[in-house]
Amino acid sequence: MANQTILARGQRSRLADLGLGAQPFTISLSMQSGGLTVDAACFGLDGQRKLSDERYMTFFNQPETPCGGVKQTAPNCFRFDLSRLPSTIDAVVITLAIEGSGAMSSLGACRATFDASAEFLFEGKFFASERAIMLVELYRKDGQWRVSAVAQGFNGGLDALVKHFGGTVQTPAHAAPPPPPPPVPKVSLSKITLTKPREVHRISLEKTPSAPRKIVVKATWIDNGDGDDDNDDLDLRVGILLPNGQMKFIQAPDRSGSFDSSPYVQHLGDVTGTSAAAPATETVEVNPEISQRLGGPVALVFSVYSAVANGVVSVGSMAPKMVMEYGNQVVECAFDFKSSDQALCNNIYTYVIGLIEIDSDSIRLSPSGLTSDPDAEWTPWLTRSSSMVQISMDGPAVFKGELAYKAAELNRHNPHRYVP
């Protein structure tokens, strides 16, 4: 790209010289992971290069700093508004850590892209047995923000990074008696990943005054690399099974819902672009009191949809997945759609990425893997038999914008209807 600066390992530069820092900007990571599961995080450090306030560690369990100066907008993408960081934060460091076994030497060609202004290229040959990396540092010096392309490795993974920066990692309950609660909660590094349709994970809803106020559900997908930017636009859709057996439907922007009133589910907005470096993310917030307010158990089916007008594409090639966050608990539904016989079909428009059931006491999650039939516009439909929730792919078709009129004709003989 013209006028783009290529940063070398160890190079330092003023952000202003790269045209960055005056306005919010994004650093996105693109990696040939070599089969590794690599998690990105960002540490906000004080003048002693320590994590003195653990609320300024930004990662999958804590995706935004209290001031809004750092936000993880996708698994490998961070948005920075440096003007919002408090004076106590002198540096922010982007890190990578391997989840599970492996070493950073297995990485292929990788890059960190600073909007359209600069790139830092790195690869596995930079490293040996390291399992974590301090990749890029943004720091204050002489009243100006600067950048350093670090790429320094650690053998111990994410825990070692947290401890290196002076943070604390939660230990199992059977360890020594815990000290009095600190003023800032400790960082939790727990993440549950579900990959099979029959897997279920249950989370208890907290009933204390400090209970989390939101259930956050995100759908992410990547550019499939076919060179067509138009066909990578998916829509996150939510079908809601009410206690009385009726169904509601949520999508952005025309049926965004509401968090504080029925249906107590709100879509935060439509996303129309993605890339391999910066996966697309659409977000839905669910009120944890949804079951009590609606009068009984509720089920939500989450799906991603590709409109025919966007062009021919296999939705499965964009690796859609769902992540739910409740407090410091994170559950990822990452069904491998490539294991489905229909996953690579260009005429499959809808993929179910997860099911969430909520009652007054708990949240239950499971991946799905269901897809629509070829060339079918039907949506996922939920029914309840005794205590079991079942998904069928015969719900009413829904279109938005100028094509909304087509739904009435297509649904003429469909017995199912969504309620307003």
Model confidence pLDDT, tens digit, residues 149-174: 988 877 777 777 888 888 776 654 44
Instruction: Find which of 96-105, 229-238, 309-318 is predicted with most confidence, using mean pLDDT.
Output: 96-105
Give the CATH number, domain containing residue 308: 2.60.60.30
Given a cut of 70, whether residue 300 has pLDDT beyond it is yes
| Residue range 345-358: mean pLDDT, rounded | 88
Characterize the bridge pairing of strands 25-31 and 110-114.
antiparallel
Q: Degrees (nearest 5) of the Cα angle 133, 49, 277?
A: 35
Is 199 a member of any domain?
Answer: yes
Residues 6+ apart with CB under 8 A from 292: 360
Q: Are residues 112 and 255 in the same domain?
A: no
pLDDT tier at 83, thresholds 50, 70, 90 = very high
d(CA 363, CA 289): 11
Q: Are residues 129 and 204 in the same domain?
A: no
Q: Are residues 216 and 141 in the same domain?
A: no
Q: Are residues 261 and 396 in the same domain?
A: yes
Query: Residue 181: what are its φ and ψ, rounded to 5°?
Result: -55, 135
Start-to-end C-alpha separation, the chain: 48
pLDDT tier at 129, thresholds 50, 70, 90 = confident
For residue 403, what pLDDT is reported? 75
Domain that holds residue 49: 5-164
For residue 1, what pLDDT is reported? 46
Q: In what order do the strands lie in the sheet with 110-114?
A: 5-7, 118-122, 110-114, 25-31, 77-80, 70-74
> Where is pLDDT greater, at 8 or 343?
8
d(CA 113, CA 276): 12
d(CA 264, CA 286): 6
| Residue range 217-242: mean pLDDT, rounded | 78
Among the ranges given (136-140, 152-156, 338-342, 381-385), the one the predictor scored with the smallest mean pLDDT: 338-342
Alpha-carbon distance values, 107 to 38, 121, 318 (Å): 10, 12, 21
In 251-361, DSSP assigns E strands to: 257-258, 265-267, 280-286, 298-305, 321-326, 329-333, 350-358
Q: Are residues 270 and 330 in the same domain?
A: yes
Given a cut of 80, whether residue 224 has pLDDT beyond it is no
194 three-class SS = strand
> Where is pLDDT greater, at 70 or 166?
70
d(CA 401, CA 405): 9
For residue 236, what pLDDT is reported? 92
> Where is pLDDT greater, at 166 or 87?
87
Percent of the chain surpassing pLDDT 70: 86
238 in Cβ contact with 301 (< 8 Å):
yes
For the chain, the farthest-separated pair of C-alpha atoms sits apart, in whole angstroms, at: 70
Residues 6+ apart with CB under 8 A from 69: 44, 80, 81, 82, 83, 84, 85, 89
Instruction: Find which of 68-72, 224-228, 304-308, 328-332 is predicted with most confidence, using mean pLDDT.
Output: 68-72
In 195-263, DSSP assigns E strands to: 201-204, 215-221, 235-241, 247-250, 257-258
H-helix or E-strand spanning residue 145? strand 144-154
Instruction: Find which of 20-29, 156-165, 181-190 is predicted with most confidence, using mean pLDDT.
Output: 20-29
With 0-12 CB in 10 A as exposed, 13-18 as middle and 19+ as buried, what is 364? middle
d(CA 95, CA 85): 19
Token pair recorded at residue 21? 């820092």
Q: Are residues 248 and 362 in the same domain?
A: yes
Give 165's Cβ-side CA count (13 Å radius). Answer: 31
pLDDT tier at 229, thresholds 50, 70, 90 = low
> Where is pLDDT greater, at 372 or 94?
94
Among the ranges given (43-47, 231-235, 359-363), the one the predictor scored with the smallest mean pLDDT: 231-235
> Which one of 146, 164, 182 terminates a domain?
164
Q: Are residues 365 and 235 in the same domain?
A: yes
Q: Are residues 46 and 91 in the same domain?
A: yes
Among the ranges given (77-91, 148-162, 179-193), the one the predictor scored with the smallest mean pLDDT: 179-193
Q: Are residues 394 and 342 in the same domain?
A: yes
Is 283 a member of any domain?
Answer: yes
353 in Cβ contact with 368 (< 8 Å):
yes
Domains in the chain, number: 2
Given a cut of 60, whether residue 189 has pLDDT beyond it is no
> Where is pLDDT greater, at 155 or 341?
155
| Residue range 74-96: mean pLDDT, rounded | 93
Q: In what order do the strands lie in the sheet with 57-58?
A: 12-14, 144-154, 132-141, 91-98, 38-45, 57-58
Q: Are residues 156 and 248 in the same domain?
A: no
Q: Are residues 234 and 139 in the same domain?
A: no
Among the ranges given (172-181, 217-226, 366-375), the one the predictor scored with the smallest mean pLDDT: 172-181
> Where is pLDDT greater, at 103 or 315?
103
| Residue range 236-261: mean pLDDT, rounded | 93
d(CA 319, CA 94): 24
